[in-house]
Copies of this chain bind each other. A is one copy, B any other.
Amino acid sequence: MRVLVPFDGRNPNSRLSPTLSAAERRELADALREDVLDAIRNAGAEPLVVATTDVEASAPVSVDDRSLSTAVNARLEAETPTAVVMADLGLATPRVLSRFFDASGDLVVAPGRGGGTNALVVRHPDFRTDYHGASYRDHLRAAHELGASVREFDSHRLATDVDEPADLAELLLHGDGRATDWLRDAGFELATTDGRVGVERHH
């Protein structure tokens, strides 16, 4: 199956700017994207990076500077089934992606923490995405309006997009790819507090 991997190279991981410099955020974003591409290939599927600017990646890249939803929808219009997997799912493994791609339903949706849509399989030819706002609910509603069958896919790995400083702790806890190595090399380690584990940085 064709898997679109949207990638915005202009200011990646901007919500990590309190923690990482612009150059570091770009390095981390590249490492995350390459981890995701590996996991998709090892799950037996074919990734296509849909990028806002030209980037060097280990998979074919299609440059499209329109909005995320417009760029994805143009490709859904051309071909289904098609999957969409976000480029910052640093805990995605071939195993969970295989299960995800194989799950039945006109629409298979993996929610992201905070209401986003981290991964989709679209088998209904008329389904269109709208990534603005709390897209998870909007995607469920759009599928119901089409009469499309929906499978909600429950996965912590796919729910974890690396977006905020607390997500770095998830990478250190559960990741084992380039992005996790990058974080360790950059001096990050787990910091235990009374509640959830966070990260601290040693230079």
Which A residues are within 8 Å of any B CB, using their own CB? Answer: 15, 96, 111-116, 133-134, 136-137, 154-159, 163-164, 166, 169-170, 173-174, 190, 192, 195-198
16 new A-B contacts, CB < 8 A, other than A113-B113, A134-B197, are A111-B156, A111-B174, A113-B170, A114-B166, A114-B169, A114-B196, A115-B190, A115-B197, A133-B197, A134-B173, A134-B190, A136-B173, A137-B173, A155-B155, A155-B156, A156-B156
* B contact residues around A96 at 8 Å (CB): 154
* B contact residues around A174 at 8 Å (CB): 111
* B contact residues around A198 at 8 Å (CB): 114
Quick check: A196 and B166 within 8 Å, CB to CB?
no
Q: How far is the CA of A115 from the CA of B113 in the complex (A)?
A: 16
Q: Which of A115, A134, A137, A198 has the most CB of B within 10 A?
A: A115
Q: How many copies does the complex hold?
A: 2
Quick check: B134 and A192 within 8 Å, CB to CB?
yes
16 contacts between A and B (CB under 8 A): A113-B170, A114-B170, A114-B196, A114-B197, A115-B197, A133-B192, A133-B197, A134-B190, A134-B192, A134-B197, A137-B173, A154-B157, A155-B155, A156-B159, A163-B196, A164-B195
Q: How far is the CA of A190 from the CA of B134 in the complex (A)?
A: 9
Q: Which of A137, A154, A195 has the most CB of B within 10 A?
A: A154
* B contact residues around A114 at 8 Å (CB): 166, 169-170, 195-198
Task: Using CB atoms, name the residue of chain B closest to A156.
Answer: B159
Task: Using CB atoms, name the residue of chain B closest to A133.
Answer: B192
